A and B are shown apart, each in its own frame.
Chain A
Amino acid sequence: MMSLSPSLGSSYPWLKELKSEERGLYLIHLLLTCANHVATGSLENANIALEQISELASPDGDTMQRIAAYFTEALADRILKTWPGLHKAINSTRVVDLVSEQALVRRLFFEVFPFLKAAFLLVNQAIIEAMEGEKVVHVIDLDAAEPMQWIALIRGLSARPEGPPHLRITGIHVRKEVLDQMGHRLSEEAEKLDIPFQFNPVVGELEDLDVERLHVKTGEAVAISSVLRLHSLLASDDEPLRKKLPLALKNSNGIHLQRALQMSQNTLGELLEKDTVNGYSPSPDSASSSPLSSPVSPKVDTFLTALRGLLPKLVVITEQDSNHNGSTLMERLLESLHSYAALFDCLESTVSRASSERLKLEKMLFGNEIKNIISCEGAERKERHEKLEKWIQRLDSAGFCNVPLSYYGMLQAKTLLQGYNCNGYKMKGENGCVMICWQDRPMFSVSAWRCRNSL
């Protein structure tokens, strides 16, 4: 077993004297160093790095301190997984997030940031325009948790010059309570506006969805909306080998490490199936040609094909626009450092440090995402955000072609972003798709699609 270093207290008193900028830079260095050690299996060194980071990082501090806190927790979690028994034991009494907490965090994300609101404006406008002239509209929400989007759509549709259509919304979600709540609110709104409306809840995991349960009827015009959900379908067990584990055995420090690693190799055996020279398994089915592309994910392709089988009039995809699906830890760490730095900066600029809501967002939303990206592998690693170009490729191969987003919708979204009275939010259009950015960094992308060769 790894020799347990005595808790050193503050054996690095000088660390406390660092000024904000130096500390920030130092934290970055430490994080990278630590991650590298973790990737190579030099856990002793990783431990020392973690020790130092803990002295500097803090969920209440400045932006970099907060980011570091969540990244180190994620790295520590990853290290701990090398001893699955230990990992399970330490988490055995952890309280699972309550439904109400999850709902609160979702709501916070919706309120504090304009990203979702802007995306909803774009999505809804795309739907309204695609459904012009349609009498019966069926909207399918692949992750129905936020009623505001559909309330806005209901209002938008009721204001149509030709009058509202008969509207059906099918919502998919794991938790029944969330769907019930949503159905209630939407029916209420539709009732107020005198629109014929039906809400169909579909309880279950999206991964296990059978499209028959969506009850798409002939003659109705179908629109499918996916908001920050599709990427989890990229999760699969086909993981390329975590690189450089064999190299670690050369570490002179690590005779005990070797033993530990051998042990862990057995337990992590299923993850290490494909041991290739280059550290990845190129799949012949993969649409992308770059060697470090994400592994083939038949699940998402099957799913998209099934959706296409419903002959939807419109499919709108909203996704995080970052590459958090790199095959190696270092890739993911670097990329996610940048993305979450932007998100944390955004919070720093718009919300006070003392705010408990900000803390919740950072911890329960971003912290959990970071943990998933950094410490999980295989099917467990669900936060597989990818850049828009990858999604474009996927949708293209599934038989969809791009529908440029409405000029009018973009205008609405842009106005909303400007109204947030914070210069950081920007929007840019690219090939008919829209990227919502913080400063120069695209954070979210929205794109609309229709079936190719459809009538």
Chain B
Amino acid sequence: MSGEAFSLPAASIGGFIQDPSNANPNPKPNANPAKKKRNLPGTPDPDAEVIALSPKTLMATNRFICEICKKGFQRDQNLQLHRRGHNLPWKLRQRTNKEVRKKVYICPEKTCVHHDPSRALGDLTGIKKHFSRKHGEKKWKCEKCSKKYAVQSDWKAHSKTCGTREYKCDCGTLFSRKDSFITHRAFCDALAEESARLTSVAATSLNFRNDTVNLPHGFAGRGVQDVAGIPQFGSGFPQDFSGMPAPGLPEMVQMAPANLFGSSSHFPGFENGGATSSNSNNLSLSQLPQGLKEEGRNEGNLMESLSSLYSDNQNKQSKANASPMSATALLQKAAQMGSTRSNPSFFGNSFGVMSSSSSHTAPTFMASSSASMSATSNNLDKLMLQTGGKPSEPSLLSMHHPGSNSFAQSLTRDFLGMSNDQSPRPFLPQELAKYAAIGSTMGLSQFTSSNH
């Protein structure tokens, strides 16, 4: 049979489109060099022919009718095959109209949006499905979940996936859809409690760079999920986003932006904490996480092992005390030290009063600053000027006295340039340590109180 032996009877409403998604009459749309721009669905080509079918005709199963014997066929090809049997003269075998005009269809239901010719749909199969879905009776029912469908293909598609994937949150709720599961989980109370419990342990540790502390925490949340029996999630929550295919549009929308930002290119030499693909980079920083990973999947007592790990780390850290404090922690410490002093004596007036190395009374000038000057910088300036303006009282200051009252004063003297002749002062390290331990900020607290 030659390709051009299609003939469309004038009255026929036969479909000519092989590929329903592309309304291009050209049988090989991909070969078309000028790629046609797709219109918005429901915004048809203005010079297309609008076809209005009655519901009966639309739903008719045999819409390809042989003009000779009036037999009905579901498919145009079948009709053509049948017509060959009638031994038609050659010219009637051909298509009557070489040039095929694009056809668009409107929904017969008057209340429907697509009833208007300006919102007609370009595909006959499409309009049929639309009509069934929206205005038809739902005759197909899923066995497992009793969900009903009007179009058989929808029903088939659903049955394939129904019950095959189930997501269970720790709070016990079941989900069939990944996106609703994820939405729920992010805001689920049960999960929040779990992670809060772990975060409180982690928060007391000041060292964020310590990977052994980091990883368990990061894993904990995932470990919990694993324990709850969701094997497909593995150990990396965001990893799954990139790994899973996107069956539905909502998922695509959800994943695409996350992926876009998550998997953007990395700079070499970066220990980038981000992105799905760089998870392994961080994991490789220490051997521990790998072990944890396995543990998490296999053992139910992941939580216990993690907690013990945590406490071990904490103990180690407090013993060693070698981990660097974060700048934020330093600022907080400085603020605390500035605010816990309560001796009201002024620096300028009470040199003699200041006692020795006891940690809570020595830097009373600090205390005075915080106690007496609550908010205005006016007073602070005064103090600064006081300290700055007493170059001629060297008698009050004694040098080299470890832990003496003059320790703090002489320190300040140095900082604030009270004496112009700066003899290099060999400060004993322990003096300085005490200094650091007992406080160093002039009323830092007064400024920080409102800043947090």
Give the residues from 44 to 73 in chain A that come closer than 8 angstroms, CB to CB, to chain B: 44-45, 47-49, 52, 62-64, 67
Q: With CB as the reference atom, state the residue of chain A lying closest to B422.
A: A11
B274 in the interface (beta carbon within 8 A): yes
Partner of A345, one of B253, B257, B326: B326
B72 in the interface (beta carbon within 8 A): no
Q: With CB as the reference atom, state the residue of chain B lying closest to A292.
A: B450
Given known contacts A351-B270, A411-B186, A423-B199, A22 and B325 CB-to-CB distance under 8 angstroms:
no
Closest Cβ of chain B: how far from A423's Cβ, in Å?
Answer: 5
Report yes or no: A21 in contact with B436, Cβ–Cβ below 8 A.
yes
Provide the residues of chain B in CB contact with A29, threshold 8 Å.
334, 415, 440-442
Report yes or no: A337 in contact with B270, Cβ–Cβ below 8 A.
no
Closest Cβ of chain B: how far from A439's Cβ, in Å?
Answer: 7
Whole-angstrom distance between the alpha carbons of A125 and B276 in the complex?
Answer: 21
Whole-angstrom distance between the alpha carbons of A25 and B444 in the complex?
Answer: 11
Majority secondary structure, B binding face = helix
Closest Cβ of chain A: how far from B445's Cβ, in Å?
Answer: 11
Report yes or no: B448 in contact with A338, Cβ–Cβ below 8 A.
yes
Provide the residues of chain A in CB contact with B262, threshold 8 Å.
117, 416, 419
Report yes or no: A152 in contact with B442, Cβ–Cβ below 8 A.
no
Provide the residues of chain B in CB contact with A39, threshold 8 Å.
377, 381
Closest Cβ of chain B: how far from A440's Cβ, in Å?
Answer: 8
Report yes or no: B257 in contact with A63, Cβ–Cβ below 8 A.
no
Task: Select the stretch in B74-82, B104-112, B165-173, B425-433 that faces chain A.
Answer: B425-433
Provide the residues of chain B in CB contact with A98, threshold 8 Å.
none
Task: Select the stretch in A220-228, A245-253, A306-314 that faces chain B.
Answer: A245-253
Report yes or no: A40 in contact with B385, Cβ–Cβ below 8 A.
yes
Query: How big is chain A's contact interface, by range?
Result: 35 or more
Task: Select the stretch in A108-116, A175-183, A364-372 that faces chain B.
Answer: A108-116
Closest Cβ of chain A: how far from B169's Cβ, in Å?
Answer: 14
A169 in the interface (beta carbon within 8 A): no
Give the residues from 385 to 438 in chain A that come closer than 8 angstroms, CB to CB, to chain B: 407-408, 411-412, 414-416, 418-424
A316 in the interface (beta carbon within 8 A): no
A216 in the interface (beta carbon within 8 A): no
Provide the residues of chain B in CB contact with A135, threshold 8 Å.
40
Provide the residues of chain B in CB contact with A8, threshold 8 Å.
422
Given known contacts A408-B183, A418-B237, A420-B274, A331 and B389 CB-to-CB distance under 8 angstroms:
no
B10-49 near A? 1/0 per residue, CB < 8 Å? 0000000000000000000000000101101100000000
A355 in the interface (beta carbon within 8 A): yes
Partner of B37, one of A21, A196, A415: A196
B146 in the interface (beta carbon within 8 A): no
Report yes or no: A152 in contact with B385, Cβ–Cβ below 8 A.
no
Given known contacts A32-B441, A36-B381, A421-B279, A25 and B334 CB-to-CB distance under 8 angstroms:
yes
Whole-angstrom distance between the alpha carbons of A4 and B385 in the complex?
Answer: 21
Whole-angstrom distance between the alpha carbons of A28 and B337 in the complex?
Answer: 12
Whole-angstrom distance between the alpha carbons of A164 and B186 in the complex?
Answer: 29
Report yes or no: A111 in contact with B424, Cβ–Cβ below 8 A.
no
B324 in the interface (beta carbon within 8 A): yes
Provide the residues of chain A in CB contact with B182, threshold 8 Å.
411, 415
B241 in the interface (beta carbon within 8 A): yes
A151 in the interface (beta carbon within 8 A): yes
Whole-angstrom distance between the alpha carbons of A328 and B377 in the complex?
Answer: 10
A334 in the interface (beta carbon within 8 A): yes
Report yes or no: B238 in contact with A14, Cβ–Cβ below 8 A.
no
Closest Cβ of chain A: how far from B84's Cβ, in Å?
Answer: 40
Report yes or no: B384 in contact with A37, Cβ–Cβ below 8 A.
yes
Report yes or no: B271 in contact with A352, Cβ–Cβ below 8 A.
yes
A20 in the interface (beta carbon within 8 A): yes
Provide the residues of chain B in CB contact with A412, threshold 8 Å.
254, 257-258
Closest Cβ of chain B: how far from A329's Cβ, in Å?
Answer: 10
Whole-angstrom distance between the alpha carbons of A164 and B326 in the complex?
Answer: 47
Provide the residues of chain A in CB contact with B325, threshold 8 Å.
20-21, 24
Report yes or no: B260 in contact with A63, Cβ–Cβ below 8 A.
no
Whole-angstrom distance between the alpha carbons of A431 and B427 in the complex?
Answer: 54
Given known contacts A17-B429, A22-B436, A45-B417, A419 and B237 CB-to-CB distance under 8 angstroms:
yes
Report yes or no: B249 in contact with A159, Cβ–Cβ below 8 A.
yes
Report yes or no: B328 in contact with A251, Cβ–Cβ below 8 A.
no
B371-398 near A? 1/0 per residue, CB < 8 Å? 0000001101100110011010000000
Provide the residues of chain B in CB contact with A330, threshold 8 Å.
377, 447
Whole-angstrom distance between the alpha carbons of A128 and B252 in the complex?
Answer: 14
Report yes or no: B388 in contact with A52, Cβ–Cβ below 8 A.
no
Whole-angstrom distance between the alpha carbons of A328 and B381 in the complex?
Answer: 13
A331-372 near B? 1/0 per residue, CB < 8 Å? 100110110011011001111100111000000000000000
Report yes or no: B274 in contact with A48, Cβ–Cβ below 8 A.
no
Provide the residues of chain B in CB contact with A357, threshold 8 Å.
267, 269-270
B358 in the interface (beta carbon within 8 A): no
Partner of B384, one of A36, A62, A161, A356: A36
Report yes or no: A159 in contact with B416, Cβ–Cβ below 8 A.
no
A13 in the interface (beta carbon within 8 A): yes
Give the residues from 197 to 242 in chain B that come closer than 8 angstroms, CB to CB, to chain A: 199, 202, 208-209, 214, 217-218, 221, 237-238, 241
Closest Cβ of chain B: how far from A208's Cβ, in Å?
Answer: 32
B390-419 near A? 1/0 per residue, CB < 8 Å? 010000000000000000000000011100
Closest Cβ of chain B: how far from A104's Cβ, in Å?
Answer: 10
B321-334 near A? 1/0 per residue, CB < 8 Å? 00011111011011
B273 in the interface (beta carbon within 8 A): yes
Given known contacts A13-B424, A159-B249, A408-B183, A22 and B261 CB-to-CB distance under 8 angstroms:
no
B309 in the interface (beta carbon within 8 A): no
Closest Cβ of chain B: how far from A29's Cβ, in Å?
Answer: 4
Whole-angstrom distance between the alpha carbons of A40 and B378 in the complex?
Answer: 10
Report yes or no: B274 in contact with A49, Cβ–Cβ below 8 A.
no
A163 in the interface (beta carbon within 8 A): yes
Q: With CB as the reference atom, state the residue of chain B lying closest to A340.
A: B327
Report yes or no: B444 in contact with A28, Cβ–Cβ below 8 A.
yes
Report yes or no: B209 in contact with A247, Cβ–Cβ below 8 A.
no
Provide the residues of chain B in CB contact with A342, threshold 8 Å.
327-328
Report yes or no: B186 in contact with A414, Cβ–Cβ below 8 A.
yes
Provide the residues of chain B in CB contact with A19, threshold 8 Å.
433
Provide the residues of chain B in CB contact with A121, threshold 8 Å.
257-258, 261
Whole-angstrom distance between the alpha carbons of A355 and B249 in the complex?
Answer: 40
Q: With CB as the reference atom, state the residue of chain B lying closest to A349.
A: B208
Given known contacts A148-B264, A341-B327, A415-B238, A424 and B208 CB-to-CB distance under 8 angstroms:
yes
Whole-angstrom distance between the alpha carbons of A441 and B282 in the complex?
Answer: 24
Given known contacts A28-B441, A415-B258, A14 and B186 CB-to-CB distance under 8 angstroms:
no
B272 in the interface (beta carbon within 8 A): yes
Partner of A152, one of B257, B425, B448: B257
B451 in the interface (beta carbon within 8 A): yes
Q: With CB as the reference atom, state the residue of chain A lying closest to B330.
A: A24
Report yes or no: A419 in contact with B324, Cβ–Cβ below 8 A.
no
Given known contacts A62-B324, A335-B451, A416 and B261 CB-to-CB distance under 8 angstroms:
yes
Report yes or no: B260 in contact with A344, Cβ–Cβ below 8 A.
no
B60 in the interface (beta carbon within 8 A): no
Closest Cβ of chain A: how far from B319's Cβ, in Å?
Answer: 16
Q: With CB as the reference atom, state the residue of chain B lying closest to A420.
A: B274
A229 in the interface (beta carbon within 8 A): no
A263 in the interface (beta carbon within 8 A): no
Q: With CB as the reference atom, state the residue of chain B lying closest to A194.
A: B38
Provide the residues of chain A in CB contact with B264, threshold 8 Å.
110-111, 148
Report yes or no: B424 in contact with A12, Cβ–Cβ below 8 A.
yes
Give the residues from 251 to 305 in chain B that come closer than 8 angstroms, CB to CB, to chain A: 252-254, 256-258, 260-262, 264-267, 269-276, 278-279, 282
A227-253 near B? 1/0 per residue, CB < 8 Å? 000000000000000011001001111
Whole-angstrom distance between the alpha carbons of A159 and B330 in the complex?
Answer: 48
Beyond the given pairs A162-B40, A419-B258, A421-B218, 11 more chain A to chain B contacts, judged by CB atoms under 8 angstroms and listed by A's residue number, are A28-B440, A42-B388, A155-B257, A159-B253, A243-B377, A330-B377, A345-B208, A349-B326, A408-B183, A411-B182, A415-B258
* Top 10 closest pairs, chain A to chain B, by CB: A419-B238, A22-B436, A341-B327, A117-B261, A29-B440, A14-B427, A349-B208, A422-B273, A350-B273, A48-B417
5 A-B contact pairs sorted by A residue (CB < 8 Å): A22-B432, A148-B264, A251-B388, A330-B377, A419-B275
